[in-house]
Amino acid sequence: MRTIIVGGVAGGMSAATRLRRLDEARDIVVFERGPYVSYANCGLPYYVGGVIRDRSSLLLQTPQSLASRFRLDVRTGHEVLDADAARRTVTVLDLASGETSTEGYDELILAVGASAREAAGHPGIPTHTLRTVEDVDAIGRLVDAAADNASALVVGGGFIGLEAVENLVRRGLHVTLVQRGPHLLSPLDPEMVAPLEARLRGHGVEVRTGVTIDTVDDGVVLLDDGSALRPDFIVDASGVVPSVDLAQTAGVALGPTGGIAVDARNRTSDPHIYAVGDGVEKVDALSGQEALVTMAGLANRHGRSVADVIAGHDERNTPALGTAIVSVFDSVAAKVGWSERQLVSAGREHRVIHTHPTSHATYYPGAQPMSMKLLVDPASDAILGAQIVGGEGVDKRIDVIAVAMAGGITASALARLELAYAPQFGSAKDPVNQLGYVADNLRAGTTSAIQWHELDATLAAGATLVDVRSAGEHAAGAIPGAVNIPVDELRARLAELPAGPVVVHCQVGQRGHTAARILAQLGYGVVNLDGGYRTWAAGAAIREREAVAA
């Protein structure tokens, strides 16, 4: 039996090595167009920034090492031009010699990944993506040759774009970041991203949202807001699209997203052709519909699973949650599942929870703040998504929530998870447990809350806003129109509250909850402003900027 794999790196090489472990007799051939078949593409930005100093550490395997350990026939510098599904053959071009050959297969695995959304190349300005070893070599040469006052333009404020920005700044460049959408990291909601944007600006990055490149001519970049930039080079991180040309030559079906359609066993519409990686549709865990989820973990996992299927095992993919994480200087942002924006767009009922805990017990030195957002189905209490921004401890909290979602643990049940605790690692009431407490209070009707973007309408309808923080906190920054009655004085100052509904808020929501419970038990119609002043201020900053831009 002969299996041909087109494309290396995550999906292709995971499939090849797993298949060899399961079948010693099989003939396994891997064709890779580029010069490197196995490299740490997620580490590439950090090589540019000098965090990873040894270039060879990015090159995980070579054709020689793969042949020695796994008896794989790996041919770099070979491009598969087309596939004939009827004859079960592929046409291969040797890029060095220019010769073509026809290779037969019993199974064909397409692991060709995705391509840059927009073709790189602007007149008078060197432009590169940040996806391959060749890309980082080219960018590295530009950085090494740059003058002291050199500047770079990064197009795209997603995960790769932010990593590029951080590492270019680390190398001493002045960086402008241009993002088409209204805020960076579009998988997250605006109030969660605001602190990250502030952190970028604090490191000297010029963040330009809601703008795109209009024209590039003679070294000048003209943005569609009329402003002009003169960067020394451009890093194009504007996103990717599935690479499907080869699949189309084979006649396999594409799905509604434009990616290659596969079933739970990674089989395409042709029974002898399989596909894995960024160019392939996944099943969204929340909607059950096709989605493009370009994550290295999924590519590796599906590469392994397709090898199991070809070897005769009963293996099926699980739906994708889209768990992701990125660092931005000394901040970390992570997400899993859907955002509030996605839920609103889909018309799906949801409940939102914001909390602002610390990474570990505050009495132990070094505790760092984090902002957490949980999205919950109000009918079933199922977790629909989560977002966390902070520093230390963000990674393990998002992973706990991702496991909870995969295991069907409800939002309220997060309160009952027994998580490792010592003061240098967490709190006796872990931040994940705290999300569960809030979720349980909302589910049971113990308290009611509104979101930061609902406050204006609630006040316009006649509610009174009461700030239950201290007088000093109120003086340092307040929501317009708020009456300041500290929570410890609330019972004694009830006469100052006008008749009608009341919205209470504190800094992060906890004292607001206490105030809401006091007033509710005294007969007031009261809701707590979810996430408190901190969440409101973050959201208001984004909203104000959007209004100015409009």
What pairing do the DSSP bridges indicate for beta strands 371-376 and 27-32? unpaired
Question: Residue 465 forms beta bridges with which residues?
Answer: 503
Q: Which two tokens stand for residue 477?
A: 């920054």
| Number of C-beta neighbours around residue 218 at 10 A | 8
- Considering only CA atoms, give the Rg of the chain: 26
Q: How many helices (H) and strands (E) does the chain have?
A: 15, 32
Active-site pick, 42, 52, 146, 518: 42
What is the per-residue DSSP string for 230-297?
Answer: --SEEEE-S-EEE--HHHHHHTPPB-TTSSBP--TT-B-SSTTEEE-STTB-EEBTTT-SEE----HH
Question: In terms of Cα–Cα distance, which of 152, 135, 138, 125 is closest to 215?
Answer: 125
Residue 73 · residue 67 · CB < 8 Å? yes
Question: In terms of Cα–Cα distance, which of 481, 497, 486, 498 is closest to 536?
Answer: 481
- 3-class DSSP state for residue 507? coil
C-alpha 199/C-alpha 216 separation (Å) is: 29
| Number of C-beta neighbours around residue 467 at 10 A | 27
Q: Could you tell me how far CA 135 lies from the centroid of its own chain?
A: 22
Q: Is the dihedral of CA 94, 95, 96, 98 positive or negative?
A: positive
C-alpha 297/C-alpha 10 separation (Å) is: 8
| Number of C-beta neighbours around residue 481 at 10 A | 11
Question: Can 42 be counted among the known catalytic residues?
Answer: yes
φ, ψ at 45 (rounded to 5°): -60, -30
By CB neighbour count within 10 A (0-12 exposed, 13-18 middle, 19+ buried), where does 102 fall? exposed
Q: Which two tokens stand for residue 173?
A: 């460049």
φ, ψ at 481 (rounded to 5°): 90, -5
Residue 74 · residue 88 · CB < 8 Å? no
What pairing do the DSSP bridges indicate for beta strands 351-355 and 371-376? antiparallel
User: So which residues are the catalytic ones?
Assistant: 42
